[in-house]
Every structure is written in structure tokens, then in C-alpha cells.
């Protein structure tokens, strides 16, 4: 039985994780950590900070808070021999470096998307990347998401560019020579892969990868209609990681 503490436990994702993970027979959510007291505890105890907990009470910290808080969690976990699973995005290079450094002391999983479907969609996009002349990504999220583009779209764009380079394909060239509105062509994520971000109320997390070639196109779409879609991936990461030092920047290797 792995004992879990959820940082950001009062937030929307924290509450979903607490409910979903506590239902697993081999996992136990023992603490919800947040500056605000959670609406529901799902059998766990509430703590304002990790310092209020005994490190011996936790095997894994799951963090769905904000980058600054994740850095604090990473340092705490590294000091106390507790594994860390991160579902937050929008890190600066310095913040990411601190989290990666924690992986030299304990097990850390830091991924842009815990949806199994999203992992498979990226895998399919990598398979398709060498065979098409152009690729563009449209990512769509709820209007409370503060960072853009999404971490998932950036990871997908990088994977597409790397797959094309490994196959000896040249970076994609944008055929557009004139725009009447700045930003109309989205953001170049590298290798010529363009990302377009949408933020609207009613959405959760959605991504479309569009490939185009002579006379044909391929669309790879993934939709998360509910935040419960992220629970199986987080559970997979929690089961796989322990205090043994290592850093995983994706759950792809855990999904067979």
C-alpha cells in the first residue's frame, strides 16, 4: 500500500486526484496539503504545508499546484527521501532545473500530461512525423489555464521535430510570407512546428495534430472531457516510482 500526500489538495485537480487515487485498492491518500482547507478530504488529513507532516507517513508526494510550490515540494522530497509525481506545467528553466536536480536524490516523474490517451496520441504523431511535409498543433483548454502554449503541445511539437530530424527530414518551412494580423500563424515551437492556443470556458484539455502532404492529410485528436481522465496515468506513475533516484519527464515508458 503506497501512502500519498497531494500538494494542491484543495484545488480542482487536487480534489479529483484525491477522490480517484483513494479509490484504488493499492493506494492510500493520507494527506491533502494546501494553504486552503479542502472541501473534501476523502479520508485523508489536512495540512497547510509538507513541514506539518511526518516524512515517514508518505511514500509519494503528488503535486498539482503551481511551479514555485512544486520547487518547494521537490526540495522537501529530496531532503526526506520521498518520491515525487508532478502534474504542473509552466516552469521557468531555473525552476525546472531544481526539480531535475531533486531526481538525483529521489524518484521524480514530471510530465506535461497524465492522460493515457494523450501519451498514445503523441506516440502516433511521432510515427507519422517523417512522412508528411508539414505539421501544426491546435491545443484547446479551459479559460482558467494561465500558461500558453500547453506543456503537452510543446512536448508533442518537440517530439515531432526530433522524429523528423532522426529520419533525415529538413525542418519544415512556413509558406506564409505575409500576415495581416500579428500572431495569426501561431508560435513556432522549433523545427517549423506551429502551435495555436485556444482558451474557452467549457473546455477541459484537447489537442489536435494536423499533418499535411501532397493530396492528403492526417488528423490525430485527443480529448479529455473530464479531469478524471488524468487519474489512471497518475496512478501508474505513483505505482512505478519510489525513492530510488531517477528522473522521468514522461509516463510514455510506463505505458506499454
Known catalytic residues are: 141, 145
Average pLDDT, 10 consecutive residues per value, the chain (256 residues): 96 95 96 95 95 86 95 96 92 94 96 92 97 97 92 94 96 91 94 97 96 97 95 96 94 85
Nearest to 140, CA basis, from 27, 233, 56, 224: 224
- Residue 55: what pLDDT? 66
CATH superfamily of the domain spanning 116-225: Dihydrodipicolinate Reductase; domain 2 (3.30.360.10)
Taking only the tens place, the pLDDT of each residue in 118-129 is 999 999 999 999
Q: For residue 117, what are the CA distances in angstroms to 109, 208, 210, 250? A: 18, 12, 17, 13
Domain ranges of the chain: 2-110+228-254, 116-225
Q: Answer for the pair 96, 118: CB distance below 8 angstroms, yes or no.
A: no
Integer Cα distance of 192 and 116 in angstroms? 27
Per DSSP, the three-state class of 17 is: helix
Buried b (16+ CB within 10 A) or exposed e, 183-201: eeebbebebbbbbbbeeee
Taking only the tens place, the pLDDT of each residue in 56-80 is 789 999 999 999 999 999 999 999 9
Q: Write the class of the CATH domain 2-110+228-254.
A: alpha beta
Integer Cα distance of 243 and 60 in angstroms? 8
Q: For residue 80, what are the CA distances in angstroms to 54, 65, 102? A: 9, 20, 11
Amino acid at each position: 500500500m503506497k501512502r500519498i500526500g497531494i500538494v494542491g489538495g484543495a484545488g480542482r485537480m487536487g480534489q479529483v486526484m484525491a477522490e480517484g487515487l483513494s479509490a484504488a485498492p493499492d493506494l492510500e491518500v493520507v494527506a491533502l496539503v494546501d494553504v486552503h482547507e479542502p472541501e473534501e478530504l476523502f479520508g485523508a488529513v489536512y495540512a497547510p504545508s509538507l513541514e506539518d507532516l511526518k516524512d515517514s507517513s508518505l511514500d509519494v508526494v503528488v503535486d498539482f499546484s503551481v511551479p514555485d510550490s512544486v520547487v518547494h515540494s521537490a526540495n522537501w522530497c529530496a531532503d526526506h527521501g520521498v518520491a515525487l509525481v508532478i502534474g504542473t506545467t509552466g516552469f521557468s528553466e531555473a525552476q525546472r532545473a531544481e526539480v531535475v536536480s531533486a531526481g538525483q536524490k529521489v524518484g521524480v516523474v514530471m510530465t506535461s500530461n497524465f492522460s493515457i490517451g494523450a501519451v498514445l496520441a503523441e506516440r502516433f504523431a511521432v510515427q507519422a512525423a517523417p512522412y508528411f511535409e508539414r505539421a501544426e498543433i491546435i491545443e484547446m483548454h479551459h479559460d482558467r489555464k494561465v500558461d500558453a502554449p500547453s506543456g503537452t503541445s510543446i512536448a508533442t511539437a518537440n517530439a515531432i521535430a526530433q522524429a523528423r530530424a532522426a529520419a533525415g527530414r529538413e525542418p519544415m518551412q512556413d509558406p506564409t510570407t505575409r500576415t495581416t494580423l500579428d500572431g495569426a500563424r501561431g508560435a513556432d515551437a522549433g523545427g517549423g512546428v506551429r502551435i495555436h492556443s485556444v482558451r474557452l470556458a467549457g473546455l477541459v484539455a484537447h489537442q489536435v495534430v494536423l499533418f499535411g502532404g501532397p493530396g492528403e492529410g492526417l488528423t490525430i485528436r485527443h480529448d479529455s472531457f473530464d479531469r478524471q481522465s488524468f487519474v489512471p496515468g497518475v496512478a501508474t506513475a505513483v505505482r512505478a516510482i519510489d525513492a530510488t533516484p531517477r528522473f522521468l519527464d514522461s509516463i510514455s515508458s510506463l505505458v506499454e
